[in-house]
Amino acid sequence: MQTIRKKGDFRKILGSGKSRAYRSFSVAYLIGGTGGMKEAACGFSLPRKFGGSVQRNRARRRLKEAVRLNQSELPPGMYLFIAKKPALEGEFRGITEEMRSFCEAVRREAE
């Protein structure tokens, strides 16, 4: 799994991509991404109002792990995950179930 770090890529995904919302996270995505991607590239964003750095990093780690567990199901493309409070406070199993649901929906959409 590649990581999205460039501001331009974040803007491209938010500007021309599709989005879905779940209880623990929202996700903006571009299936196929930019020319010939062979795997999923993911970025993670947490607003400052989410909490201090400890809370933001914990939620980011939980989202990253949920993505890692389901990365084989993600079609090549660019994905920007935006955490919500339940990503920090909820059970990890709930996050992984939502991620699995997202992966299935995107897989169907890509076909």
Q: Domain holding 75: CATH number?
A: 3.30.230.10
Is the pTM above the cut of 0.85?
yes
For residues 81-86, give the mean pLDDT.
Answer: 93
Q: Which residues pair with 28 in a beta bridge?
A: 19, 80
Q: Which domain holds residue 39?
A: 2-110
Q: What is the mean pLDDT of residues 66-72?
A: 94
Which whole number is the average pLDDT over 48-63?
92
Read off the DSSP letter of residue 98. Answer: H
Q: Provide the Cα torsion 85, 45, 1, 18; round to 10°.
A: 90
Number of structural domains the chain divides into: 1
| Higher per-residue pLDDT: 35 or 56 | 56
Distances (CA, A) of 108 to 31, 51, 92, 99: 11, 35, 25, 14
